[in-house]
Structure 1
Amino acid sequence: MFHTVTTVSGHKVSFTELYLIPVIENDITVNYVSAKQIKIDDVLYVTSNDHLIASTITTKIMKTKSGYYASLTMSGVVNGIMSSCYDNVQNHESTHFSSDLLRGFYR
């Protein structure tokens, strides 16, 4: 199952349901939640003129698609929307810390 979200800024992306996405809470706190948990009116960081800005989710569509896709990025930005580089993990921060060595070898 893929969850496709669109933000008020016009950014649109599809995630598998366990993909982690940083949601802004109380204007300052970032909480990583799975795509299946995000909802309309949640606020995400998106890129605009090379800066990150807050943008509210206006639509969410769930759809079964063929295949499997996991985006692995160095920047953590997919289609202009800030996201985690991880899928199906309990904690973004611990997984990110434990994969530092691998990222170091890549660079």
Structure 2
Amino acid sequence: MKKFFLLLLLVFSTVLQAETIDGKPPFAREINCPPITYDQYLKIKQGMTYDEVVATVGGLDGFEIARSANFVSYAWGSPAFYCLTAHFIDGKLNIVSQAGLKR
């Protein structure tokens, strides 16, 4: 059930990112990611805490995008485009994904 919920959340967040803003589709928008590199993303490991993830990305806090009893998701970027998302179950990182981070 948890895996289904996580998959549903991941699909939902992807659909939200695909909405047009100012009449421009996602591929026509400039991606303004925070100063997080792809190399930092690669250092993020399953089982990390939120504080460990924040330390790994240079101390930049994410913003909360979803919460339930034992589940919380954070994103880095803008409300229109998430460059990095991290999903935690019981305080431990379960899934992390990125889009548009520079190497």
Shorter-chain TM-score bucket reads under 0.3
Relative to the length of structure 2, the TM-score reads 0.26
